[in-house]
């Protein structure tokens, strides 16, 4: 069974640098995520501060600091590297954001295939014959 991709937005809808937040379904649960575009690349993270678990943003799509150089937690002013999610300043120093796999395909930012696991496992497929491929 092939699971269709979940398109988040058009690649061109993201400023460079810029960020947007989304809510996606992961195994029947709603999960807040955000994507950041920087230097033509896109990075995805779960929208949860490793310090207290609260969302990073207080306003829609406000995930970057004033200079758009780092991801900012608006609750405790912690700073995270865009490319790695590693905390470089604040109460969660040494920890990092949880990555969320995204991909750019045909001009669209979408949930990467690794995240599109079905809610329940597929039925096993039985093959007839010798079992050799």
Residue 46: per-residue pLDDT: 98
* Contact partners, residue 76, CB within 8 Å, separation at least 6: 49, 51, 52, 90, 91, 92
Q: Which residue has the tokens 């690794």?
A: 114
Q: What percent of the chain has pLDDT over 90?
A: 74
- Listed in sequence order, the residues at least 6 apart from 119 whose beta carbon sits closer than 8 Å to its beta carbon are 27, 28
**Looking at residues 9-19, what average pLDDT do you find?**
98
Q: Find the largest Cα–Cα distance for the chain.
A: 63
Tally of CA atoms within 13 A in the half-sphere of 115 that contains its CB: 20
Mean model confidence pLDDT for the chain:
87
Tell me what pLDDT residue 115 has.
Answer: 56
Taken in order of first residue, the domains within the chain and their CATH numbers are 7-115 (2.102.10.10)
Q: In what order do the strands lie in the sheet with 102-105?
A: 7-10, 108-111, 102-105
Q: How confident is the model at residue 3 (pLDDT cuts 50, 70, 90)?
A: low
Mean per-residue pLDDT, 48-76 = 96
pTM score, whole prediction: 0.82
Give the residue, 28 or 36, on which the prediction is more confident. 36
| Residue 78 pLDDT exceeds 80 | yes
91-131 tens-digit pLDDT: 988 899 999 999 999 999 999 976 554 443 333 333 344 44
In the predicted structure, residue 40 carries a pLDDT above the cut 90: yes
Task: Report how far Cα 18 is from the mean position of its chain's Cα atoms.
Answer: 14
Mean pLDDT to the nearest integer, 79-101: 96
Phi-psi region of 61 (alpha: psi -120 to 50; beta: other; left: phi over 0): left
Under 8 Å between Cβ of 123 and 18: no
């Amino acid at each position: 069974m092939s699971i269709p991709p979940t398109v988040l937005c058009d690649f061109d809808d993201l400023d460079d640098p810029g960020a947007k937040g989304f809510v996606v379904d992961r195994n029947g649960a709603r999960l807040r995520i955000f994507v950041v575009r920087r230097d033509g690349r896109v990075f995805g993270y779960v929208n949860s501060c490793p310090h207290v678990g609260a969302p990073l943003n207080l306003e829609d799509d406000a995930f970057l600091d004033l200079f758009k150089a780092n991801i900012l937690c608006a609750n405790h002013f912690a700073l995270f590297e865009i490319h790695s999610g590693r905390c470089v300043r604040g109460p969660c120093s040494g920890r990092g954001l949880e990555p969320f796999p995204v991909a750019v395909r045909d001009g669209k930012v979408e949930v990467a295939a690794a995240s599109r696991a079905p809610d329940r496992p597929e039925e096993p497929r039985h093959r007839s014959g010798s079992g050799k491929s």
